[in-house]
Structure 1
């Protein structure tokens, strides 16, 4: 039976949408099709991911309907990765990046047959933007689509090795693929910039004429068909240009791009990247929650020795508590930060997205994937040797997070770009995006209690504000004869800290808001402790900065580790309801160490009988002399 605290925490973590948006996805993944399969080759694992993706598609509403409800799309990003990280990747590329681009820019009667083909999942749709030589700089990509008015086609071509499409799914030539390919549109002797095209890559007979692919090197865990893809003068019908409102051919056959510069048109063409970042962060926080759930359940049941005691659960050790409860606090903080970013995204009217929303989504993606990478690593280590086994899931989540950190924009580049935009806009702190808004007058005084949530929020706001001021001052310093690049390069690392500090500040505000929104007293008490632990963790991280500015005394800095230990001791009784709010179960995750009896579960998985059963099953010894 669900406790009131667990139900209240679930309501807050899933933003009141679990039953209508998430529950059927949870139940779908209980199907035996998603049971762990050991001993598969990477190719076999990749083919299984395609099979599982078709099963998910067959049990849910059509992709077009899911795209119309961003909350549903984000939920689809959150759950499949818990049982198969490759299935998550396939679904998100098809639903959000590729088919989402078709719906936004090619929702026309003359493309209905191809759009319906993707909506039915008769063909999968890879998204081909990144090129081997250009990484995140897709605005500079070189694949070209040259218009041939005599035949009513574009000639799609890869001019050199640097322009080969990189990482998209083209390695299984027997699976039908209808890709969205970003290419440079050339018509009437002019380069009109980058546009999306819908291109048939393969059918059941293999790769289409003029399309070439080679597999990328193998990746751990994720056995998908990532490849290098290149085009040798492939004819693409005019209708398969996904121009949307980006421009169109006139009756005179001349292509006329929409008003505005090429960069704005390019950003509009890449509009699915923004919700894609929220999908990536959803998968990351889902993996973080699952890792903490598994690690804490195992820690409560894994017995060890202690001075003067035997058979003590390892979670009783303060060192274990600090590692896992800090991970738990970060997971709650990132989940609530992500919920805030999702709400802001769903409220934003149309395209292009407001600058503040882009900042929030990018910071959320970067901070959530970085923090969950650390959370998963800590949980894996605290589970000892059991954390290494793929069947216990956490190692697989570590591989997933390695990919998510660079997906939809490499975190370091993404955060640097975001920080540069914030600094360049010259906004006041009061204009900054946040969950609560408002700004304290001046720096907060050294507190009597450094773990008080009000002080921790005030300290986070002050640090963000001061880092922003320092970055802006450094950029506008005219005392040195510098180029713009030299000025930005000297400011870059402090600006990155400022952008990270903004994410931390908003996450703390979201935690504080959750405390206020809690209806159950136990849930409220648990959330208050988590808020303090998350804030204290960040305070310890930057304690030298706070000490130098008089926000903490030397004695308080020395006491911060003791305060964190004390919070862990207070959090211990709340561990079960806190992870109960994740709405996970051993049946869903199928991780033996998450089971109520992990020893029996591990024995069942390995096929071991165990000592008692082995004695019972052993044949009786032969009589002497027989």
Structure 2
């Protein structure tokens, strides 16, 4: 078999980064090579948090104008991927600052010049920005929040207040209180004793001297592997000038208290005010998939170097074991599938921006990629043994980051439930004929996609029919939905994974070098077979797999993994990473100094 060439490697980098590595990613990779990102040990949580702020400022200083980053979604997504490989805490700091705070401010202040001073302060990162939505007692039910901003027409100001402990803002970055910070705070606008719905307000939280008058905050306990300075925050009569209301397209408040809006629905106004959450979800997915790539780079390089015993041999590299190959190469297939799914979703967002279809796709992408990468990271941690437990080797910290991503900017389960409901109401138009198993190859990704789509079609039909029957029989809408929510979750997850298989298979067929095409083709077969394995019993019961095919699946998974082995180095070379960049001791055999 011919060895890989630089042309093969360049082709994989082109595919992994969707043709944007040189003009979107390369300088960010160079930035995180700075000595400031070198591993540090012996720091407590506050020191780690302060270091993350310093690193975030360095990235900001070298990235270029903040508004330009926000104008280029691909640049924003790349900004989520590279710094977090070196310091996971920079992910929420940078994304909250750029996307959620400054992005919301710019989006809802279009045509205004009275906020230029605040925009400039954030754009230069003299103050760090954040978004405060979630309240302690309401979690994902943000529409029920109770923080109030009451308009005082005599002073032409709002009075921002937290009415009770359950309404405290939960987990904003208010634990370190001597760094200047500005927040976009979601609160109920109350005018003349009338609740006008939830709107964003600009609130200065603290300066170099500490919390500002009327703002109270208490740091939350430490979170293993993530040094974010989360807190709970209470507002006690904070006075805000009228300009601090970000009404945008949602509504306009006149000095006399007259409120005008072209959007009659309070829910629609609320969703409009939080539109930046959608690209934020995609940023989180991008970052976690990048962490999955880095983890596999480390785990596979380590498996090549780490020697162990073997029957009849003095020692062999760990990767020689079939058990290691099957686990790591299935994880590698997952990473490539999710990389191409994320790339496809990025392209959709760049084309259309925030829309119902794109939001649905982003939700599916965020959920299936974060769950897949959680499994990948755990596999890589275990397959690097004791080395995988050290923060200096990155993977353990990525696992903690994954837990945050699963929950942040829309917890995975509510997002998936909403996507499942949308699929039940509007199933994709597909050919859902019953696949014929005879004569079909279990290494053909197209066959696995047919199987997955057929199962989705059956699940959609049976679930929708059962819900309609229950409602006609007198059940409430909630009861009917609740009885079938698990089926809806299964449907949506299956749809997301099917889309990932399609993107991986497409990338394999479109690769321009034979060796790259062969390597990605094997991963597509491995990923598709893994999807079918999950539902093999269902397919056997429905006649879309034969008993012989079902019994062959484990053997085929091992055989495909063995065939991936000659391409393993090439496939991780496609991630654009280096030992020098990651600085992981596990990549340097015999290293005893973990501080180097």
Distance 1:444 1:268, change over 3 A: farther
In structure 2, which of residues 63, 66, 74 is the aligned counterpart of residue 63 of structure 1? 66
- Pairwise CA distance, 1:51: 0.7
1:468 corresponds in structure 2 to 460
Query: Map of 1:423-434 to 2, 5 A cutoff?
Result: 423=424, 426-430=425-429
Query: Map of 1:166-565 to 2, 5 A cutoff?
Result: 166-250=170-254, 252-348=256-352, 353-423=354-424, 426-430=425-429, 439=431, 441-478=433-470, 480-565=473-558
- Pairwise CA distance, 1:428: 4.1
Deviations 1:217-265 (A, max 9, x none): 1111212211000000100000010111111024654112332300000
2:42 corresponds in structure 1 to 39
1:579 matched to 2:579: no
1:434 corresponds in structure 2 to none
* 2-structure distance, mates of 1:398, 1:38: 18
1:101 corresponds in structure 2 to 104
* 2-structure distance, mates of 1:117, 1:241: 18
Deviations 1:498-547 (A, max 9, x none): 00010011111101110121001000000110001001111111111111
SS of the residue 2:129 aligns to: coil
1:151 corresponds in structure 2 to 155
Alignment: residue pair count: 591
- Pairwise CA distance, 1:447: 4.3
More displaced, 269-278 or 455-464? 455-464
More displaced, 508-517 or 28-37? 508-517
1:605 matched to 2:570: no
Deviations 1:334-376 (A, max 9, x none): 0100111111111115xxx332211110010000001100100
CA contact (8 A) 1:258 1:265 kept: no
- Pairwise CA distance, 1:474: 1.9
1:617 corresponds in structure 2 to none
CA contact (8 A) 2:183 2:202 kept: yes
For structure 1, the residue ranges without an aligned partner over 5 or more in a row are 431-437, 608-626
* 2-structure distance, mates of 1:440, 1:572: 35
* 2-structure distance, mates of 1:283, 1:444: 39
Distance 1:428 1:416, change over 3 A: closer
More displaced, 284-293 or 340-349? 340-349
CA contact (8 A) 1:447 1:552 kept: no
* 1-structure distance, mates of 2:230, 2:343: 31
* 1-structure distance, mates of 2:342, 2:321: 31
- Pairwise CA distance, 1:463: 1.8
* 1-structure distance, mates of 2:96, 2:5: 36
* 1-structure distance, mates of 2:282, 2:531: 23
More displaced, 354-363 or 149-158? 354-363
1:87 matched to 2:80: no
CA contact (8 A) 2:153 2:255 kept: no
- Pairwise CA distance, 1:606: 6.3
- Pairwise CA distance, 1:417: 1.7
1:78 corresponds in structure 2 to 81
* 2-structure distance, mates of 1:483, 1:212: 43
TM-score (norm 1): 0.92
Larger CA Rg, structure 1 vs 2: 1
* 2-structure distance, mates of 1:310, 1:543: 40
* 2-structure distance, mates of 1:551, 1:27: 50
* 1-structure distance, mates of 2:371, 2:161: 37
SS of the residue 2:234 aligns to: strand
CA contact (8 A) 2:225 2:400 kept: yes
Distance 1:606 1:284, change over 3 A: closer
